[in-house]
Protein backbone atom coordinates (compact mmCIF):
# COMPACT_ATOMS: atom_id res chain seq x y z
CA UNK A 1 0.00 0.00 0.00
CA UNK A 2 1.28 3.44 -0.91
CA UNK A 3 1.87 6.11 1.73
CA UNK A 4 -1.30 8.20 2.11
CA UNK A 5 0.45 11.40 1.06
CA UNK A 6 1.64 9.62 -2.10
CA UNK A 7 -1.92 8.47 -2.76
CA UNK A 8 -3.15 12.04 -2.43
CA UNK A 9 -0.38 13.35 -4.66
CA UNK A 10 -1.10 10.69 -7.29
CA UNK A 11 -4.89 10.87 -7.42
CA UNK A 12 -6.10 14.26 -6.14
CA UNK A 13 -6.23 15.87 -9.60
CA UNK A 14 -8.10 12.91 -11.09
CA UNK A 15 -10.66 12.92 -8.27
CA UNK A 16 -11.06 16.70 -8.57
CA UNK A 17 -11.66 16.47 -12.36
CA UNK A 18 -14.26 13.77 -11.74
CA UNK A 19 -16.01 15.97 -9.16
CA UNK A 20 -15.86 19.03 -11.41
CA UNK A 21 -17.70 16.96 -14.00
CA UNK A 22 -20.37 16.06 -11.45
CA UNK A 23 -20.75 19.46 -9.78
CA UNK A 24 -19.89 21.92 -12.57
CA UNK A 25 -18.34 23.99 -9.80
CA UNK A 26 -14.59 24.14 -9.14
CA UNK A 27 -14.94 25.40 -5.56
CA UNK A 28 -17.40 22.67 -4.59
CA UNK A 29 -15.25 20.07 -6.36
CA UNK A 30 -12.18 21.16 -4.39
CA UNK A 31 -14.11 20.97 -1.13
CA UNK A 32 -15.49 17.53 -2.01
CA UNK A 33 -12.03 16.33 -3.07
CA UNK A 34 -10.75 17.13 0.41
CA UNK A 35 -13.75 15.36 1.96
CA UNK A 36 -13.17 12.37 -0.34
CA UNK A 37 -9.61 11.94 0.87
CA UNK A 38 -10.69 12.42 4.48
CA UNK A 39 -13.24 9.62 4.01
CA UNK A 40 -10.60 7.50 2.25
CA UNK A 41 -8.21 7.87 5.18
CA UNK A 42 -10.99 6.86 7.58
CA UNK A 43 -11.81 3.76 5.54
CA UNK A 44 -8.41 2.81 4.11
CA UNK A 45 -8.59 -0.45 6.06
CA UNK A 46 -11.47 -1.49 3.76
CA UNK A 47 -9.46 -1.06 0.56
CA UNK A 48 -8.64 -4.60 -0.50
CA UNK A 49 -6.84 -3.93 -3.78
CA UNK A 50 -9.45 -5.70 -5.93
CA UNK A 51 -9.88 -2.53 -8.01
CA UNK A 52 -7.55 0.31 -8.89
CA UNK A 53 -7.01 2.95 -6.22
CA UNK A 54 -8.44 5.58 -8.60
CA UNK A 55 -11.65 3.59 -9.01
CA UNK A 56 -11.98 3.18 -5.25
CA UNK A 57 -11.40 6.91 -4.71
CA UNK A 58 -13.95 7.84 -7.40
CA UNK A 59 -16.50 5.61 -5.67
CA UNK A 60 -15.87 7.49 -2.44
CA UNK A 61 -16.05 10.81 -4.34
CA UNK A 62 -19.40 9.81 -5.84
CA UNK A 63 -20.83 8.98 -2.42
CA UNK A 64 -19.36 12.18 -0.98
CA UNK A 65 -21.07 14.13 -3.75
CA UNK A 66 -24.40 12.39 -3.10
CA UNK A 67 -24.08 13.18 0.60
CA UNK A 68 -23.38 16.79 -0.32
CA UNK A 69 -26.55 16.89 -2.42
CA UNK A 70 -28.59 15.47 0.43
CA UNK A 71 -27.18 18.06 2.81
CA UNK A 72 -27.90 20.87 0.39
CA UNK A 73 -31.40 19.49 -0.20
CA UNK A 74 -31.27 19.78 -3.92
CA UNK A 75 -30.74 17.04 -6.43
CA UNK A 76 -29.90 18.95 -9.58
CA UNK A 77 -26.58 20.27 -10.75
CA UNK A 78 -26.05 23.98 -11.25
CA UNK A 79 -26.72 24.38 -14.93
CA UNK A 80 -24.43 26.20 -17.31
CA UNK A 81 -27.18 28.75 -17.82
CA UNK A 82 -27.29 29.50 -14.10
CA UNK A 83 -23.51 29.72 -14.04
CA UNK A 84 -23.68 32.32 -16.78
CA UNK A 85 -26.33 34.29 -14.88
CA UNK A 86 -24.01 34.27 -11.86
CA UNK A 87 -21.27 35.76 -14.03
CA UNK A 88 -19.07 32.67 -14.18
CA UNK A 89 -16.93 32.15 -17.27
CA UNK A 90 -17.64 28.56 -18.23
CA UNK A 91 -14.99 28.56 -20.94
CA UNK A 92 -12.09 29.27 -18.58
CA UNK A 93 -9.60 26.44 -18.02
CA UNK A 94 -10.48 26.46 -14.31
CA UNK A 95 -14.11 25.70 -15.07
CA UNK A 96 -13.51 23.15 -17.83
CA UNK A 97 -10.00 21.70 -17.44
CA UNK A 98 -9.79 19.38 -20.42
CA UNK A 99 -12.25 20.93 -22.84
CA UNK A 100 -10.68 22.31 -26.03
CA UNK A 101 -13.65 23.61 -27.97
CA UNK A 102 -13.23 26.91 -29.76
CA UNK A 103 -16.87 27.81 -30.24
CA UNK A 104 -18.34 29.00 -26.94
CA UNK A 105 -21.92 28.33 -28.07
CA UNK A 106 -20.97 24.76 -28.86
CA UNK A 107 -19.47 24.33 -25.41
CA UNK A 108 -22.57 25.75 -23.76
CA UNK A 109 -24.91 23.56 -25.80
CA UNK A 110 -22.96 20.38 -25.16
CA UNK A 111 -22.51 21.12 -21.46
CA UNK A 112 -26.21 21.84 -20.99
CA UNK A 113 -27.16 18.62 -22.70
CA UNK A 114 -24.70 16.50 -20.72
CA UNK A 115 -26.15 17.81 -17.47
CA UNK A 116 -29.70 17.16 -18.67
CA UNK A 117 -28.94 13.47 -19.13
CA UNK A 118 -30.56 11.22 -16.57
CA UNK A 119 -28.48 9.01 -14.32
CA UNK A 120 -26.57 6.79 -14.88
CA UNK A 121 -25.93 8.25 -18.34
CA UNK A 122 -24.61 11.60 -17.09
CA UNK A 123 -22.20 10.18 -14.53
CA UNK A 124 -21.00 7.39 -16.80
CA UNK A 125 -20.42 9.82 -19.68
CA UNK A 126 -18.42 12.12 -17.41
CA UNK A 127 -16.35 9.24 -16.00
CA UNK A 128 -15.46 8.14 -19.51
CA UNK A 129 -14.77 11.57 -21.01
CA UNK A 130 -13.45 13.61 -18.07
CA UNK A 131 -11.06 11.22 -16.41
CA UNK A 132 -10.96 8.62 -19.16
CA UNK A 133 -11.77 5.60 -17.03
CA UNK A 134 -11.96 2.29 -18.84
CA UNK A 135 -15.30 0.56 -19.26
CA UNK A 136 -14.12 -2.08 -16.81
CA UNK A 137 -13.37 0.58 -14.17
CA UNK A 138 -16.72 2.28 -14.79
CA UNK A 139 -18.48 -1.07 -14.43
CA UNK A 140 -16.71 -1.58 -11.10
CA UNK A 141 -17.85 1.82 -9.82
CA UNK A 142 -21.47 1.01 -10.62
CA UNK A 143 -21.21 -2.62 -9.54
CA UNK A 144 -22.04 -3.73 -13.08
CA UNK A 145 -20.22 -5.46 -15.91
CA UNK A 146 -17.81 -3.94 -18.41
CA UNK A 147 -20.34 -4.68 -21.14
CA UNK A 148 -23.06 -2.79 -19.22
CA UNK A 149 -20.73 0.22 -19.08
CA UNK A 150 -20.06 0.04 -22.84
CA UNK A 151 -23.74 -0.22 -23.73
CA UNK A 152 -24.76 2.53 -21.31
CA UNK A 153 -22.03 4.85 -22.63
CA UNK A 154 -23.17 4.17 -26.19
CA UNK A 155 -26.77 4.98 -25.20
CA UNK A 156 -25.61 8.20 -23.49
CA UNK A 157 -23.84 9.25 -26.70
CA UNK A 158 -26.97 8.49 -28.71
CA UNK A 159 -29.10 10.56 -26.33
CA UNK A 160 -26.67 13.47 -26.66
CA UNK A 161 -26.58 13.15 -30.44
CA UNK A 162 -30.39 13.22 -30.58
CA UNK A 163 -30.52 16.38 -28.45
CA UNK A 164 -27.78 18.30 -30.21
CA UNK A 165 -28.66 19.20 -33.75
CA UNK A 166 -25.74 19.28 -36.20
CA UNK A 167 -26.21 23.00 -36.92
CA UNK A 168 -25.85 23.81 -33.22
CA UNK A 169 -22.27 22.54 -33.01
10-28, pLDDT tens digit by residue? 888 888 888 888 787 888 8
Torsional class of 77: left (φ above 0), alpha (ψ -120 to 50), beta (otherwise): beta
Read off the pLDDT of residues 86-143 as tens digits, 9 standing for 90 and up: 444 444 444 444 444 345 566 677 777 887 888 888 888 888 887 778 888 889 888 9
Cα angle for residues 152, 114, 121 (degrees, 5° grid): 20
Percent of the chain at pLDDT above 70?
Answer: 72
The secondary structure of residue 77, as a DSSP letter, is P
pTM for this predicted structure: 0.49
Helices (H), ranges, 50-134: 53-72, 80-85, 104-116, 121-130
Amino acid sequence: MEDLSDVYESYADEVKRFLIGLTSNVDVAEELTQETFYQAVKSIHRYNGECKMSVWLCQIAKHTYYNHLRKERHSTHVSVENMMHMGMDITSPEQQPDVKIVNRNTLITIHKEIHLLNEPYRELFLLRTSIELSFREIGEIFGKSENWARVTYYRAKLKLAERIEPNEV
